Structure 1
Amino acid sequence: MSLLFEPTPDGAGRYLDWILSGLGWTLSLALGAWTIALVVGTLVGVARTLPKGILPRLGRVYVEVFRNIPLLVQMFFWYFILPELLPVRVGMAIKQIDPPWGSFVPALICLGLFTAARIAEQVRAGLQALPRGQIQAASALGFGRAGMYRLILLPQAFRIILPTLTNEFMTIFKNTSVALTIGLVELTATAREINENTFRTFEAFGVVTMVYLAIALIAWQIMHRIERAMRSPSFASGSSRP
């Protein structure tokens, strides 16, 4: 642990400052990507449960594409390939974004859309787990499709899938380490830089491992409390099953 308090090669601070900086980028990336994933995943999951039309087909295509292409390949696509496919001026503007934003934005989009495909399937499963009587009762009361989903179906579906959403949040936090491949200096990249400067591999990666574990446990505890607060007696007892 003494490594954290040693000065960095540039003399501008300590290695602890590097760890805190990497942690800040990791948390920003995880929370931002989670927000994108939750919004997009909910919309796609709802689209997949619609009875007819093109939206269910588009939702299925989205899920199959983003869920079945490795995350690393998708990360390279957003960072290296997409600028080449866009008009020259737009592509050059993207390439000239100042670091670390030039790496952060593609990583944010990639992680958000990748995780959205997984959340979409969970939302679909949660909606399909609800009794058919819910839809029939909402229709009898005069609810339109948008109001039915927003006020009746989605709140109940989220209560069902909250434990799996907790797992997805912890997964997206760990997946931020893939962003080091496109130059974002998050926690794992920070550990690698410290190791390259000090050759103290065990200490560098040991500290970062403990940080990952601590954040994961904190996130699990927060989500567990939210789950307990949102759980209704009917779902807890299993009486909601069709």
Structure 2
Amino acid sequence: MSVETPAAGTAAAEAEAVVLLDEVSKTYATGAAEVHALRGVSLRIDRGEYVAVIGPSGSGKSTLMNILGCLDVATSGRYELDGVDVEDLSEAELAAVRNRRIGFVFQQFNLLPTLSAWRNVELPLVYAGVGRAERRERAQQALGRVGLAGRVDHRPSELSGGQQQRVAIARALVTDPALILADEPTGNLDSRSSEDVMGLLDELHASGRTIVLITHDLEVAAAAERSVTVRDGVVHLDDAAAVDA
């Protein structure tokens, strides 16, 4: 299999893949039947790219997201994340990869209501064993980067929906991950807050972050520099990022 990137010539040859899927399939057993959620997916996303993954409910989009986020493992095929082949990793090793190499942004924010903004942001660093003083400094820096320097001690209930999603994005950034994986990040926001969050993702992309945006909304997907569509467990590439079997 050969994989072509959106770039051309020398730039393509020198591009560094953050996500590399090679003939990845996922099958679930439901009683006597089997559900083929993904069918031979091959996809490459290079460092600094901003890619939208589009698909309706039941298309395999969520399964693809779970595999990209190391929340699930493929039935067959190979997945390399930032140069690490995740196929043979133990549960503990997968957890470490999720914590250190992937920054998650979810539709539901997933903030702990009893903790302040900075304490929510520091949680990945707690799991990574970083010292308290450094955790606080890095959490506050991350909140500053998303425009919440004046809200570090506020609890989620004291923040708007858009501000809560900014806290979630700060938490995703605090470990300096290779990949930001945003799953329907505007799904619970009004239009103004949605524009605010998408603008922030644009800024992060402009600063060199690698972002994968999972969405069913074509208008949201249009913010990405390229997109792929999942239908019936198959990925259809919507631009020049072709994969030749």
TM over 0.5: no
- Would you tell me which structure has more strand in proportion to its own residues? 2
- Would you tell me which structure has more helix in proportion to its own residues? 1
| TMscore range, shorter length | under 0.3
Compare CA radii of gyration and give the structure with the larger one: 1
TM-score (norm 1): 0.24
